[in-house]
Amino acid sequence: MGEQTILATFPSSSKALAAQKELKEHGFNITQVDHVGKFSSESNTDYNNPLSGRSSLSGLTEYSGANLSRDVGPLLAVDNAASGYAADTELANLSILLTAVVPEEKTDEAMEIIKNHGGTT
């Protein structure tokens, strides 16, 4: 009896959390929901620090408003996902990742639950 890891993306955290809840109700207890994206949620102060001479232009401008709000940054607004040009791409709005570890013989059941909540595997 082995285990299978399922990675599924969702368009919203509410859908991913609903899938996670139903998975747990069916006995799949090893699950995790994360936000994934090409921008980190905060500046890496070990690297982006102008006082120590270690900085990148993108790090300084992307996170220049980080002390005001987590989502304030001049370059974050010019990303394709923010502009609307990426709206029709297949993975444009799938930034929520659900990870589940399930018994191999119950993989199909778990996949069905995930798909019923809008997940893409």
Per the prediction, the chain carries an average pLDDT of 74
pTM score, whole prediction: 0.62
Contacts of 63 (CB under 8 A, 6+ apart): 42, 43, 48, 73
CA 62/CA 32 separation, integer angstroms: 28
Chain segment 49-71, per-residue pLDDT in tens: 555 555 555 555 555 554 444 45
**What pLDDT score does 13 carry?**
84
What average pLDDT values come out for the chain (121 residues) when binned by 10 residues?
92 90 97 76 51 52 50 56 53 77 97 96 89
Measured between alpha carbons, how far is residue 30 from residues 5, 34, 90 in Å?
10, 14, 28
- What is the bridge-based pairing of β-strands 3-10 and 30-35? unpaired
Residue 62's CB: how many other CB atoms inside 10 A? 21
Q: What is the CATH number of domain 1-38+90-121?
A: 3.30.70
List where CATH 3.30.70 sits in the chain: 1-38+90-121
